[in-house]
Amino acid sequence: MAIFTGCGVAIATPFLPDGQVDFQAFRDLIQWQIAQGIDAIVVCGTTGESSTLDDREHIEAVQFCVDVVQGRVPVIGGAGSNDTRHGIQLAKALEQAGADGLLLVTPYYNKCSQRGLIQHYTATADSVDIPCLLYSVSSRTGVNIAPQTVAALAAHPNIVGIKEASGDIAQVAEIARLVPEDFAIYSGNDDMVIPIMALGGLGYISVVANVAPKDSIRMTRSFLEGNLREARDLQLHLKSLIDALFADVNPIPVKAALHLMGKCQLEYRLPLCPPNRQVMERIRHEMTVYGLI
């Protein structure tokens, strides 16, 4: 069964100037997303700067979100590692923390084979009793999940879908052709939501929903309700804002945008740092044009 249908926000993790997680700002972000009507919250994904959180902070952030959400929407914990043993430990801990599902990024840097991917994901999914989503984002990890590999992993009862962020619509089409009808495909690219939903996708895991949740949610709901023109128009309307939010490496721009909205401090963990003046002005301009500030 799909963990969610529609728009799930890959929520940012706010920090304080001393480098600690700003849990008050985090609580406010979570509550705001739920009030806007978000369909799911993904914690400690790429946008949540998971790569600079230690395991204690990672687990604590997921537990905190679970406690704030109180079952109102699914909470999906970002997990995965380039070390399968470590990834399994983290997956188990997030299950224990109350996550409704897991988003499992491919192993990075090792650049394993497709056979290694199958063994890695099978071992991880075997270790938990909650649904798992594959996460294919080769631009960051250096490893692509081939359609045939996705199809093989779809046979595992705990692997229920994929966040597909390859940017290759032909690859998404091939995955859709090979997997069972009940296997959930989510767009991992904000600018490809409607094309992927047209191939049978159930929605997306979104960066732009951090700052424009209402239109992000309405885009998927319009499509699911059969209002294809409105869905298309919203995809195109969001395009310039989406482009600005990827003018630097994610999540640098979206966190700057949240800062401009007064929702978090402009704090990152190195090696991420605030955007330069040109990127900041582009973000400010698009946010102003969109009516967000």
Per the CB < 8 A criterion, the answer to whether 266 and 257 are in contact is no
| 205 appears as a binding residue in the annotation | yes
pLDDT of residue 228: 97
pLDDT of residue 1: 73
pLDDT of residue 65: 98
Q: Which domains does the chain have, with CATH numbers?
A: 6-227 (3.20.20.70)
Mention every residue, 6+ apart, whose C-beta is less than 8 A from residue 58: 44, 50, 90, 94
Over residues 71-89, mean pLDDT: 97
Distance, in Å, from the CA atom of 241 to the CA atom of 225, rounded to the nearest integer, reads 24
pLDDT of residue 283: 98
Mention every residue, 6+ apart, whose C-beta is less than 8 A from residue 160: 1, 2, 3, 101, 131, 132, 133, 183, 184
Distance, in Å, from the CA atom of 12 to the CA atom of 287, rounded to the nearest integer, reads 17
Angstrom CA distances, 43 to 62, 125, 159, 282, 290, stand at: 6, 19, 19, 27, 26
pLDDT of residue 15: 98
Residue 10 pLDDT > 80, yes or no?
yes
For all residues of the chain together, what is the average pLDDT?
Answer: 97
Residue 208 DSSP code: G
Tens digit of pLDDT for each residue in 97-128?
A: 999 999 999 999 999 999 999 999 999 999 99
Q: What's this model's pTM, rounded to 2 decimal places? A: 0.96
What are residue 18's phi and psi, to 5 degrees? -85, 0
pLDDT of residue 273: 97
Q: Which own/partner pairs from 227-232 qualify as long-range (CB within 8 Å, at least 24 positions apart)?
A: 231/194, 231/197, 232/194
Exactly one of 121, 135, 186, 204 is catalytic; which is it? Answer: 135
What whole-number percentage of the chain has pLDDT above 70? 100
Whether 163 sits among the annotated catalytic residues: the reply is yes
pLDDT of residue 201: 98
Exactly one of 121, 163, 204, 290 is catalytic; which is it? Answer: 163
Handedness of CA 269, 271, 276, 281 (dihedral sign): negative
Distance, in Å, from the CA atom of 61 to the CA atom of 43, rounded to the nearest integer, reads 7
Tens digit of pLDDT for each residue in 226-262?
A: 999 999 999 999 999 999 999 999 999 999 999 999 9
| 141 appears as a binding residue in the annotation | no
Mention every residue, 6+ apart, whose C-beta is less than 8 A from residue 87: 79, 80, 81, 104, 107, 120, 124
Per the CB < 8 A criterion, the answer to whether 241 and 282 are in contact is no
Residue 191 CB-half CA count within 13 A: 11
